[in-house]
Amino acid sequence: PPDQLPQDPTKKTIVVLGSGWGATSLLKNIDTEEYNVVVISPHNYFLFTPLLPSVTVGTLDGRSIVQPTRHTTRFKTREVKVYEADCEYVDPINKTVTFEDRSEVKGSVSKVTIPYDYLVYSVGTENQTFGIEGVKKHACFLKELSDAEKIRARLIDCVESAAIKGQSEEEIDRLLHMVVVGGGPTGIEYAAELRDFVESDLIRWYPEVANKLRVTLVEALPNILPMFSQTLIKYTESTFKENSIDILTKHMVKDVDERDVLVKTPSGEEKKIPYGLLVWAAGNTARPLTRQLMAALPEHQKNRRGLEVDDHMRLKGAEDSVFALGDATATHFAPTAQAASQQGAYLARVFNQLARLQVLEDKLAASKKAGADASELSGIERQIEKAAKIRPFKYSHQGSLAYIGSEKAIADIPLLGNNQIASGGVVTFMFWRSAYVSMLFSLRNRSLVAADWFKVFLFGRDVSRE
């Protein structure tokens, strides 16, 4: 790394909570010359979530889609501190955060409180379980890298157990039933990757079990993928049908135990569905830390979905010092990487502008002290007036993309006015791949992802359990 300026106690401190889409986009774009930046996140890396479903079946290696946060901050003008820890308390009144090192290896210090001048709150969300106890106990989620690796191991376990000599037919049926809850893009993309794995790899190595493996997607609403156009919903449904993925719409999961999910069918009856692997992709909910921050500002924070911010991403009730972005906020933008990264880049511009403002204000004070003439002072004042005008955040929708299996993807791309192109198929899949490769933050990740795809093309996916 190049020589960096050390942190400077006379400069303002920005504490960034999180190392996901919002935080990383901010870190990439911020000029740190005028700030001390501190990043706190339980993961010391950024995870490229759009390709996470590919890790569940080994199309991609998990390492290929993560970027250490220190890689992002190493070329910054001033040193950025990165702490791998969980923030466990935010005090928006006294402007402090308390964080804890929860790793198994502990030193003499584990809990620390530090002050901030500005806080960037970008901790995302956790999985919505609707209070169903069995979900946390028995289902797999798909949010973190470790979730994808757990799904992969669990899938292979089911296949290997089903192949054990003497296993009863009923048990084979259960073990080889993969149930996905949630027909949003996470559930759809996971089911698609799973089907690819069965068709291309499992069939070669476990022919006797692969033919018996079933995939069922359960969705409470009347249709899947509500954010896509009707044509693409239909196209996805027919592609899933061709690939023998059963879609049960208007089926609401009410309970989960070790072996069965209990669903309410459209006719109102309750039915048990046995499963071997259950992937829960039923959406997001606010993290406990977010709820606690809301509770600290009860007059201003009343939305259960998440933090309320103004059009400059300032937290209502703490506008002078806290900015919140991404999934942790309750705005009219969908909780997507696209929105979070645009908000992160916007906030970086805001901080860069605030730094310019500070430099001009210091210059004005120094000029006044040195007895500068009126025209010089009014020149600086005009510059200050310009720098003080901060524009609100504006979202630019680039379209929605999703992988639906068998080398097919769907895309809703906005055109001028209110028009949009809805496209699905193999060409869209090529577009999907190239779009995501170009969006990966570094050459290192692009090379690793391209190499993984090439490896799978040559040798197929690895079916050994990690």
Task: Return the half-sphere exposure (C-beta side, CA atoms, 13 A cut-off) of residue 217.
Answer: 32
Angle CA(300)–CA(306)–CA(309) in degrees, nearest 5? Answer: 50
Q: How far is the CB of 190 from ligand FAD (least distance, A)?
A: 7
C-alpha to C-alpha distance for 448 and 446, rounded to whole angstroms: 6
Asked if 65 and 47 touch (Cβ cutoff 8 Å), the reply is: yes
Phi, psi at residue 88, to the nearest 5°? -115, -5
Please identify, among the stretches 18-26, 269-277, 423-431, 437-445, the one whose residues bind ligand FAD according to the rule CB under 6 A: 18-26
Listed in sequence order, the residues at least 6 apart from 373 whose beta carbon sits closer than 8 Å to its beta carbon are none
φ, ψ dihedrals at 328, nearest 5° = -70, -15
Which of 18, 62, 335, 344 binds ligand NAD (CB under 6 A)? It is 335
Q: Where are the beta strands (DSSP E) in 313-407?
A: 322-324, 400-405
Rule CB under 6 A: say whether 122 interacts with ligand FAD: yes
Report the alpha-carbon distance of residue 405 to residue 242 in Å, rounded: 11
How far apart, in Å, are the Cα atoms of 452 and each of 3, 58, 278, 414? Answer: 34, 9, 26, 31
Among 203, 220, 262, 435, binds ligand NAD (CB under 6 A): 220
Binding status of residue 463 toward ligand NAD by CB under 6 A = no
The binder of ligand FAD chosen from 114, 220, 262, 337 (CB under 6 A): 337
Residue 318 or 401 with smaller CB distance to ligand NAD? 401
Contact positions with ligand NAD (CB under 6 A) in 100-159: 130
Q: Cβ of 6: how many Cβ atoms within 10 Å?
A: 8
Q: Does 435 bind ligand NAD (CB under 6 A)?
A: no
Q: Which is nearer to ligand NAD, 54 or 72 (CB)?
A: 54
Kindly identify the residues of this chain, within the stretch 31-60, that bind ligand NAD according to CB under 6 A: 50
- Rounded to an integer, what distance in angstroms lies between the CA atom of residue 122 and that of residue 326? 6
Check binding of 338 to ligand FAD (CB under 6 A).
yes
In the three-class reduction of DSSP (H, G, I as helix; E, B as strand; rest coil), residue 220 is classed as: coil
Return the residues of window 284-313 that contact ligand NAD according to CB under 6 A.
Answer: 284
CA dist., res. 417 & res. 398, Å (int)? 13
| H or E element at residue 288 | helix 288-296
Among residues 185, 276, 306, 344, which is the contact residue for ligand NAD, using CB under 6 A? 185
Binds 306, which of ligand FAD, ligand NAD, none (CB < 5 to 8 A, cut-off by type)?
none
Interacting positions 38-57 with ligand FAD (CB under 6 A): 40-43, 49-50, 52-53
Query: 18 touches which of ligand NAD, ligand FAD, none (CB within 5 to 8 A by kind)?
Result: ligand FAD
Q: Which residues bind ligand NAD (CB under 6 A)?
A: 50, 130, 181-187, 189, 218-221, 227, 252-253, 281-284, 334-336, 400-402
Q: Which residues bind ligand FAD (CB under 6 A)?
A: 17-23, 40-43, 49-50, 52-53, 86-87, 122-124, 142-143, 186, 287, 289, 326-328, 335-338, 340
